[in-house]
Amino acid sequence: MSLGNLYSDDLHESLGNFGGHATVGESERKGVLMVAKCTVILNKPYGVLSCFTDAQQRATLADYISIPDVYSAGRLDQDSEGLLILTADGGLAHRLTDPAFKLPKVYLVQVEHVPDLQALEQLRTGVMVRGRTTRPAKIRLLSEAPPLWERSVPIRFRKSVPTSWLEIIISEGMNRQIRRMTAAVGYPTLRVVRTAIGGLKLGMLLPGEYRTVTNTELKKLWEC
């Protein structure tokens, strides 16, 4: 799937609408019928680690997911929110995390100040992050704040510093990439919310809620 296929002028489309819970049964990949292993999506809350255990007793996925044998396919930083895929299918996990497949990931990003045209173009063409240039990205400056839930810990607010929102679509996943990208062009990130991966959308899930991925969604992930 190309980045353009996820790039939409309708912000609500980026957030999506799943229309209820579903159970995965059989799915088809490359014409071969196979039994699908459990795959769910979670709206990971702010402050939660993308793992099930933590020696420091911090909040983890175990506080929200009790399904056995599923693990996060990829990760979100502790201070990032939104779509996290968990699966018992090792092959699917590999496809979702291997950068060779270039699955597009959609983020809503709040930054300090309002990025100028030069900064936006730099983000689109690639910036230097930890010694290498990021892949081309889709960047859109939003005209208003997106319809998101209130974060459990409010962002830092300074009356003298305006903020703005970007929609950023990337096809790689370096450590803290979004934050490092915006910092590289002079606009520190305040909040990051992932809303889609490879066409699979967060929908109307609230923080801490999860649902099973449908057969149709699973097939699309394999076809991306």
Q: What angle do CA 54, 55, 59 make, to 5 degrees?
A: 35
- Rounded alpha-carbon distances, angstroms, from residue 141 to 41, 89, 124, 194, 197: 27, 36, 12, 16, 20
Distance CA 106, CA 74 (A): 14
Residues with Cβ within 8 Å of 69's Cβ and at least 6 positions away in sequence, in order, are 38, 88
The catalytic residues are 77
Residue type (1 letter), 94: H
